């Protein structure tokens, strides 16, 4: 029999994080502690999601966030859990979230030497929460630019994605997984609910160079740019040599769509449309962290023309058209974007 990895060589996320500290010879273990706070928060959120249908935590809270979206109870809950877990330790000096209008400065005595800022999509896939479909959390970590001891500034949060020191996501799916990178490859951990620990299950993930899955909300088709329309046509045409037609898969939870495409090979597109000139997805909370992971796994992430991680952000809740996934597929989609400019 094939013994699962965790039986032959069980490694917990906690052990792995400490082991990998040596990738940062001058770090004092603070980033490791920060990742441990995220690990704890994600377990708490996971527990609540698992019993959401029983715990009166489904549905909306009856107000909108700054994105103009109806906030769900779990959006608010997950946001609070992550904020509290990160604030309780002196590693992070500020946090920006999809669910908050402005960034939050952590400025108690405990945070006076804190070097990191966190940007977070606490609950990704809001529309799927109430129907028991996989949702997620996405996080992104930067070193602050301003001097420790001073108040965190907007500029600390508006850094291009290539400055990320770590990024990751959690999928609360048929099993719960935490996937992250610190710029030395991508590793995935599956939560064993009976032990309450994440175990290394997907070591050094590499995204297939090409695949057969395309993921896009085709309900918006008429508003898509011509290049995207032509690329969709290309995906649907028959050509055995390139394994077309491709398969269309769209969950509507970016994290889950991304995760599937990373493991199987595919492309995810959320393009610009006439009503949404920059698409829907948020550069800082969604696109940058997944772009960092995609590149670390050998994939690509662009806005259709250029690299996501090179964009200099100008505002917290900035949106950007997003093309992410297997390198050859994203390159092909970009060819179409350039051809039909």
- Is 217 annotated for ligand binding? yes
Q: Of 249, 265, 283, give the one whose Cα is nearest residue 212.
A: 265
Subset of residues 212 to 231 that bind ligand AHG, contact rule: CB under 6 A: 217
Q: How far is it, in rounded angstroms, from Cα 283 to Cα 98?
A: 11
Q: Please list, in sequence order, all residues whose beta carbon lies within 8 angstroms of the beta carbon of residue 219, skipping any fewer than 6 positions away.
A: none
Subset of residues 121 to 160 that bind Mn ion, contact rule: CB under 5 A: 121, 123-124, 126
> Taking the complex as a whole, how short is the minimal distance between the CB of residue 245 and ligand AHG, in angstroms?
21
* 260 is an interface residue for ligand AHG by CB under 6 A: no
Spatial strand order of the sheet with 135-143 comes to 104-105, 92-97, 116-124, 135-143, 166-172, 176-181, 186-192, 197-202
DSSP string, 211-251: -SEEE--GGGGGGS-HHHHHHHHHHHS-BGGGTBSPEE---
* 126 is an interface residue for ligand AHG by CB under 6 A: yes
Of 125, 208, 225, 304, the one binding ligand AHG by CB under 6 A? 125
- How many chain residues interact with Mn ion (CB under 5 A)? 6
Query: How do the residues of the chain divide into helix, strand and coil, expressed in percent and rounded to 5?
Result: 40, 25, 40
**Would you say 21 or 217 has its CB closer to ligand AHG?**
217
- Is 15 annotated for ligand binding? no
- Residue 280 partner contact from ligand AHG, Mn ion, none using kind-dependent CB cut-offs of 5 to 8 Å: ligand AHG
Of 86-94, 123-131, 159-167, 239-247, the segment contacting ligand AHG by CB under 6 A is: 123-131
* 69 is an interface residue for Mn ion by CB under 5 A: yes
Q: Which residues of 188-213 are buried (b: 16+ CB within 10 A; e: fewer)?
A: bbbbbeeeebbbbbbeebebbebbbb
**Would you say 208 or 279 has its CB closer to Mn ion?**
279
* 303 is an interface residue for ligand AHG by CB under 6 A: no
Residue position matching structure tokens 């997950």:
78
Which residues fall in the annotated binding site for substrate? 124-127, 217, 250, 280
Which residues fall in the annotated binding site for Mg(2+)? 98, 121, 123-124, 286
- Residues forming contacts to ligand AHG in the complex (CB under 6 A) are 69, 98, 121, 124-127, 217, 252-254, 280
Which residues fall in the annotated binding site? 98, 121, 123-127, 217, 250, 280, 286
């Amino acid at each position: 029999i094939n013994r699962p990895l965790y039986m032959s060589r069980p490694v917990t996320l906690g052990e792995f994080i400490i082991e990998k500290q040596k990738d940062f010879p001058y770090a004092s273990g603070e980033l490791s502690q920060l990742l441990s706070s995220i690990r704890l928060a994600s377990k708490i959120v996971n527990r609540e999601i698992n019993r959401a249908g029983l715990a009166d935590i489904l549905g909306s809270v009856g107000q909108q966030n700054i994105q103009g979206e109806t906030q769900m109870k779990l959006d608010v809950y997950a946001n609070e859990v992550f904020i509290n877990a990160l604030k309780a330790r002196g590693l992070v000096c500020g946090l920006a979230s999809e669910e908050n209008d402005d960034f939050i400065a952590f400025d108690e005595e405990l945070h006076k030497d804190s070097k990191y800022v966190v940007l977070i999509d606490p609950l990704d896939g809001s529309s799927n929460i109430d129907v028991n479909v996989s949702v997620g959390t996405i996080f992104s970590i930067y070193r602050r630019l301003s001097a420790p001891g001073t108040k965190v500034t907007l500029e600390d949060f508006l850094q291009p994605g290539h400055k990320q020191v770590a990024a990751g996501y959690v999928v609360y799916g048929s099993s719960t997984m935490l996937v992250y990178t610190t710029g030395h490859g991508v590793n995935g951990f599956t939560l064993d609910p009976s032990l309450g620990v994440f175990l290394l299950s997907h070591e050094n993930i590499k995204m297939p160079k090409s695949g057969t899955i395309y993921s896009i909300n085709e309900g918006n088709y008429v508003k898509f740019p011509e290049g995207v329309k032509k690329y969709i046509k290309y995906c649907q045409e028959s050509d055995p040599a390139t394994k077309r037609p491709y398969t269309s898969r769209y969950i509507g939870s970016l994290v889950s769509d991304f995760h599937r495409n990373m493991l199987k090979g595919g492309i995810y597109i959320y393009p610009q449309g006439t009503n949404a000139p920059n698409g829907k997805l948020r550069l800082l909370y969604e696109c940058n962290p997944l772009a960092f992971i995609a590149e670390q796994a050998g994939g690509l992430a662009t806005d259709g023309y250029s690299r996501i991680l090179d964009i200099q952000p100008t505002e917290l809740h900035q949106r950007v058209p997003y093309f992410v996934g297997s390198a050859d597929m994203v390159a092909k989609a970009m060819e179409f974007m350039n051809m039909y400019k």
